[in-house]
Every structure is written in C-alpha cells, then in structure tokens.
Amino acid sequence: MTYSAPPDVIHDFIRVDPSLVKAASEFPASILADVAGRRGTLSSRIAPLAPAMRIAGPALTIEVRGGDNLMIHAAMALAKPGDVLVIDGKGDETAALMGEIMISACMKIGIAGVVIDGSVRDTEAIRALGFPTYAIGANPNGPTKLAPGRVNWPVSVGGTSVSPGDLIVADADGVVVVERSKVEAVLALAAGKVADETVRLQQIRGGGQLRPSWLEGALKKAGVVIEGGIA
C-alpha cells in the first residue's frame, strides 16, 4: 500500500460567516476573551504597531522557519479579502518577516490584518498606511526566502493554538482567538456582558454602588476575614 503525506499548503478552509465577523468587530477583545472562558488570548508581546489598529476576521494560518518568509508569500497568493494572516514565526526577532512592500500588497488584496509571532520592519511607513499589524517587535534586518513551511494548518502563536478559520479579534489590548464553532455562542454571551457592564459603569459614575455585589461572597469563599465586615 502506498501512503502519501498531506500537502504542506492547504488552499482553502471554512471561514467564519462574514455577518458574524461584522458583529464581532463591535466588541472589545477583552469582552470576547472574558465570555470565551478567559482563554484564547495571545501573549502580550504581540502588540499593535499603533493603538488605534483593529482587526476582525477569519485566520489564515502560516508556519514559517525563524527568519524566513517564503510561506507568507505563498499564503498571500491564496488569501481572500477579509482574511487575517496569523503567522507562527517561532518568536524569532533576528529578522523582519514583513515590511512596507508586503503590507502594501496585503492592503491591495483586501487582507484584514496581520498577526506575527515575530518581527516586522518599516514600522513608520506601516503606521502611516494604517494597516492593522501586530508583532512582537521590529528589526531592520530582512528575511530569507528559502525554507519550507505550512499554510492553513493549526499553528501555535503567542502561546495559543490557532486553526484555519478561527475568528481573530484584535485591538489596543491585544489579540483574542475564538474557535470557529463557538463564535455564534460567544457573541451572544458578549452582548449580555456588555449590557451588564454598561449598567455597572452607570452605577459607579452616578455615585451609586461602588463595590461589586459578588465581592463579599467571594471573600467568604476564599476564607478571607475582614474585621468589622465590609458593609
């Protein structure tokens, strides 16, 4: 019997429905992270080049060798408008994996944003372009274009597993990943949390109840004793 290995480059995948992406874009990453079980967030080392940058879209995943961007070019050839390039760059900081030229091409393709567990360069130009770019740092050194990798396979980025088609939402606080199968349920929970937090903020700003209602019970459960109580 002859066995053949699966392809390193998978050309297509099931994406989050665009209507769900649009709905998700209305929520802060922090809200989605909370209702998704306080999991799925990338390391805070992966940060936006500018605080105003925002991303929402399905993940197109890429695995590269450290300091080599060959497979990013391959992935860009397959990307569809609205996709988010999520790149497992192995946390390498010795060379930039993308710069102004590639980011300009991403904009022309209609890619929604780039998340790189690695470095970029031409940061001033990218900020001026306004294209949502998240990375762990900058390095003026260019990459090689020699090493094989994989496209549209599960990857580990910033300590979190990301599969093709998962929802990516990113803002000034960082990046959260929601599994594609859970997006609809998470959005329903997010709407409820926003409503609850809106009421809580109104109470605080109006000079009403400043202490959260759950605090006393949580302290008791933790075995914490406060002399005289907290009433």
Q: How is domain 18-181 classified at the CATH fold level?
A: Glucose Oxidase; domain 1 (3.50.30)
Distance of CA 7 to the CA centre of its chain: 26
Q: Do 78 and 150 meet the contact criterion of CB atoms below 8 Å apart?
A: no
What is the C-alpha separation between 121 and 167, in angstroms, rounded? 26
Tokens 């803002």, residue located: 171
Nearest partner of 87 among 127, 36, 29, 143, judged by Cα: 143
Give residue 153's identity as a one-letter amino acid code.
W
According to DSSP, the β-strands at 133-135 and 47-48 are antiparallel
According to DSSP, the β-strands at 113-120 and 133-135 are parallel
Partner residues linked to 40 by β-bridges: none
CB atoms within 10 A of CB 189: 16
pLDDT given at position 97: 98
What secondary structure letter does DSSP report for 38?
A: S
By three-state DSSP, how is residue 192 classified?
helix
What is the C-alpha separation between 38 and 210, in angstroms, rounded? 24
pLDDT given at position 206: 85
By three-state DSSP, how is residue 186 classified?
helix
* Segments making up each domain of the chain, as ranges: 18-181
pLDDT given at position 4: 59
Q: For every one of its 231 residues, what pLDDT tens digit does the chain have, with 9 covering 90 and above?
A: 666 567 899 999 999 999 999 999 999 999 999 999 888 999 999 999 999 999 999 999 999 999 999 999 999 999 999 999 999 999 999 999 999 999 999 999 999 999 999 999 999 999 999 999 999 999 999 999 999 999 999 999 999 999 999 999 999 999 999 999 999 999 999 999 999 888 888 888 888 778 888 888 888 888 887 766 665
What is the C-alpha separation between 138 and 95, in angstroms, rounded? 8
pLDDT given at position 110: 98
| Letter string b/e over residues 81-115, b meaning 16 or more CB atoms within 10 A of that residue's CB | ebbbbbbbbbbbbebbbbbbebbeebeeeebbbbb
CB atoms within 10 A of CB 201: 10
CA-to-CA dists, residue 223 to 42, 213, 214, 216, 229, angstroms:
33, 17, 15, 11, 13
